[in-house]
Every structure is written in structure tokens, then in C-alpha cells.
Copies of this chain bind each other. A is one copy, B any other.
Amino acid sequence: MQKSQIGRPRAFDAEAALEKAMMIFWAQGYEGASLTDLTEAMGISRKSLYAAYGNKEDLFRKALQRYEEGPGAYVAEALQAPTAREVAMAFLAGSARANTLPGLPAGCLGVQGALAAGEAGQVARETLTKWRAHGQALLRDRFRQAVQVGDLPVGADPEKIARYVMTIANGVAVQAAGGATCEDLQHVVDAALQNWPPA
């Protein structure tokens, strides 16, 4: 749709500002990103934000779309790979890379975007991160012990095995939140443990 060119033109770059908004949502989550946080990062006023993007929800949706085209572009790329296995490899390697890019928020906007860390929630967030790390440490210690008694081969790395197992469990939690059934998830778990130990 063509916009009439009458009136004062907007004084900021809408695309660049959206990029900034995406970063804030990515790092702080939807509710954790206050309008003040957003407008300060975007360098525009509240009124300009509402005029240009609608409301906060609309802005979030547009930021998510932008994420898909930017840091999340590896998904579309991976889907183009010639074989199913290469699709899976490209997709997962891309997610490992995109979720840990230096200078960008860690994790995936699609998973973390609903996280809230607006000062108040930050403590809870850290508490949970530590809690998950603790659980992973328990697994690692257990696997370390398994190596000592010969239950796992001497070359096995307890740290990596623990991370592998915990990553599956974390994924299971996200899937469950999205509505997957126990049966669905049991299949995933069975598949994940078919090669053991995970080299």
C-alpha cells in the first residue's frame, strides 16, 4: 500500500529501530521489556513507537519476524539442504551457532522471548539457571563415578554426557509446554538414547 507523502516524514530508520527492539525482547523477554527500555534503545519517543508499529504486541510480532529473517535465517537455509540428514545437521549446527553468537543475547528468541527479567524477575531467572546447572552437575558426578567402575568406557567424558542428557531434558520441557504428550516425548527420549554412550 502506497503512503501519501504529505506531512513531516519520520525522523528515524524504522528498520534499524526494529532491530534494536528485537534485541531488547530477545535479551529481556516480552514482559521484561518495558516501553521505556524499548524507546531508549530504539532512540525514539513513545508516541513515535505507537504511530509506527501499533502497540507493544504488534511490535513484538514484527520483532519476531525480523528475528526470523536475521539471526534465525539459518532455519530457512537448513531446509534447503539436499538430504534429510544434512537438513538436520545444518539446522542443529545453525541453532548451536545462532544461540551463542558473541555480542548477541544467548539463546533463542522463540524460546526465551516469553522470559521476563524486568529487574524483579532477574533474581528468579538466575536462581533457575543455577538450579539447572546443579542438576547437570549431579548427572556429571554420577557419570564420573560410572567411568571409575568401568560402567562407562575410560575415554568417555562425563561432562559432555551430562550436558547431552540435560539438553534432551531441557528440550523435553519446552516441548511439553508446547503441548507434546508423554508418548511423543518418550519416543524422542528413546531415540536420543539409542547410541550410548553419546560419543
Contact = CB atoms under 8 A, between A and B. Distances in A.
A116 B121 contact: yes
Interface string A79-113: 10001110111011101110110000011101111
A139 B79 contact: yes
A113 B115 CA distance: 9
Interface stretch (A13-21, A36-44, A183-191): A183-191
Nearest to A147: B84
Interface string A101-142: 000001110111111111011011101110111010011001
A2 interface: no
A89 to B, nearest CB: 6
Interface stretch (A4-12, A45-53, A172-180): A172-180
A174 B171 contact: yes
**Secondary structure call for the A interface:** helix
A188 to B, nearest CB: 5
A128 B114 contact: yes
Contacts of A110: 128, 131-132, 135, 173
A146 B84 contact: yes
Contacts of A79: 138-139, 142
Interface of A: 29-32, 57, 60-61, 64, 75, 79, 83-85, 87-89, 91-93, 95-97, 99-100, 106-108, 110-118, 120-121, 123-125, 127-129, 131-133, 135, 138-139, 142-143, 146, 151-152, 160-161, 163-182, 184-199
8 contacts: A57-B124, A75-B135, A85-B196, A99-B172, A112-B173, A132-B174, A167-B171, A174-B174
